[in-house]
Each structure stands twice: as structure tokens, then as C-alpha cells.
Structure 1
């Protein structure tokens, strides 16, 4: 993964901390129903890979959102901390967790076919439908 050397973020109450050793410098938006229900709008996130350290784990709650993924949140303040693919331990982390970063590029959107008509982003991005996402990334059942 190209990108920053590391990113360090914390929840609102600072009871939890997430350190990503090899995140990308790309931000993506997920428009799936679960992400929009989870955060009230699209999830703007950074792929942080598998080298992630969590601090304050006693304050982290987990929600098993599907057979292949779980979502982590701070049990104290409710901050969304990550979406984690269980099989490969890959962390997708809300971009806002790391504060303002002008060095990141918003370059892709997934589940574009699930995006409601009441908002649009002006950026030119790579767009994938839900079917395209599952065809590319879904576990194969091996």
C-alpha cells in the first residue's frame, strides 16, 4: 500500500486510540445501507490494512455486522472506530478519526448504486456498484 508512514487517531473522549502502521493515502466513500445507518450518511474511510494497534481495548465494543465483517466503536462516547474484515483482519477506518489531513485524496466510492439521490460528491472518483464490490472483494468460501 502506498501512503503515509502511519496514522494515529483517537475517539472523542480519548479512551481509545488506533495506530495504523501502513494506511493508504486514499479516502473512499461507502454508500451501503449499513454504513449510512451506522453513521447517518456515507462512510468516508481510509484502508488501514492489517497492521493496526488498538489502545483502550476495554472501551471498544464490537458489532458483528455480517458474516465477514465487524464494526468497532468506543463504548464510552460512541465514536465509530473501524470496519474490520474478519477473515483477513483488514481495517477500514473513518477518515475523521485522524483529524484534518490535506494529503489524502478522495478517489473512490463503493455501493454507488445504493447512494440516495439527495446528495452527490463533486469529486471525480472511481465508482463501483454493490455487485462489482462483491465480485472483487467477497470471500470465495475457501
Structure 2
């Protein structure tokens, strides 16, 4: 993630995208574009990159006291049916994998981590209770609840894990692979 976005600097991000616009038009008309058109083109490039790139997303809890941006998301959601995930989320736990270094917390006022086992912790909002993250100890990755991501996500269900521990009140009806444990 570039420094402009990490620091929340929209102007610097706009300037970064403007540089790439210099070769945007093969006819090189960008050199004769007036200032208002340049600003519009630059803003459109910024918005396109920020909101429509499949591997860049923004997310938050329900009350907004935890918000973040993340780059490098995969496109396949993992659904975990283990007992611990069911108890901490109220149902099965859906997650998308990312590198923790690619997550920028834009507001972490409400973020609390709960040590859910000897090997992992879960992040949630202490104000609204939204279950947001799962992170293995000593791991440089994080699992993010896709339900907290701004739409559209472009995500699909990739697999189900711990299906042997699935609750008895629902059936798995999609065609994604079902793995008994992990």
C-alpha cells in the first residue's frame, strides 16, 4: 500500500495517480488539458483505484469505531463451521485472508482483541460487538469477516472447513469444497 493511502493523504494519492495519467491518452492530449479537466480526470482515477479494484477494500464495524483499508485480498471466502467460530460469531464464521501488513486501521478506537485459544485471537468492536478479525499468534496474516467490507466485494465462497462440526440446523447447499477438518 502506498504511503499516501497509509497516511490518509488524499492529495498525495491524487498526485500519484495524476503522474500515471500523463501516458493515459496515446494522442498525448493530456498535456493540453485545462486545470478543471485535469482535476476531474485525476479524481476519477483515484476513485476508480480506490473503489473498484478487486484487491483493495474498505471495511468497518456497525458503529464505525473500527474502520480499515486493506490491499491484497484474495477472492475466495472460507467458511468455518467449527464450534469456536460458531460460538464467537453466532453462526459459521466467514473470512477472507490478507497480509496483516496490508491492513491500515483508519479508526481503531473500538478495536479489542480477545485471546480465543492458545494459538489465536479474535478482533471485535467493543462498542457494537461486531466480530471482525481472526489472527493466529506469531503469524503475519489476518482473516477478515467479509460481511464488514464495503460493497461490492467481488468475493465468492471458496471452501468450507470443519464441516464435521457443522451445526445441525442448516445444510451446506453450495458447490464449494467441503473439508472435514482443516
Q: For the superposition of Structure 1 and Structure 2, which TM-score range results when normalised by the shorter chain?
A: 0.7 to 0.9
The equivalent of 1:42 in structure 2 is 92
In the alignment of these two chains, the number of paired residues is 129
Q: Is the helix fraction higher in 1 or 2?
A: 2
TM-score (structure 2 length as normaliser): 0.65
Higher strand share: 1
Give the gaps of 5 or more residues in structure 1.
Answer: 134-142
| Aligned partners of 2:114 and 2:123 also within 8 Å | yes
Q: Once the two structures are superposed, what CA deviation does each residue of 1:78-113 show, in whole Å capped at 9, x if it has no partner?
A: 111100112213111111001443621112001111
Aligned to 1:12, the other structure's residue is in SS state coil
Q: In structure 1, what is the equivalent of residue 130 of structure 2?
A: 79
Helix, strand or coil at the partner of 2:87: helix
Normalized against structure 1, the TM-score is what? 0.82
Q: Which residue of the partner structure matches residue 64 of structure 1?
A: 115
Unaligned runs of 5+ in 2: 1-52
Could you say which residue in structure 1 is the equivalent of 2:169?
Answer: 118
Deviates more, 1:47-56 or 1:15-24: 47-56
The verdict on how the C-alpha distance between 1:58 and 1:102 changes in structure 2, with shifts beyond 3 A counting, is: closer
Equivalents in 2 of 1:87, 1:56: separation in Å? 23
Seen in structure 2, the aligned counterparts of structure 1 residues 41 and 94 have a Cα distance that, compared at 3 Å, is same
d(CA) in 1 for partners of 2:110 and 2:127?
7
Runs of 4+ in 1 over 3 A off after TM superposition: 99-102
The equivalent of 2:22 in structure 1 is none
Could you say which structure has the greater relative contact order, defined with CA pairs below 8 angstroms and 6 or more residues apart? 1
- The CA RMSD measured in Å over matched residues stands at 1.7
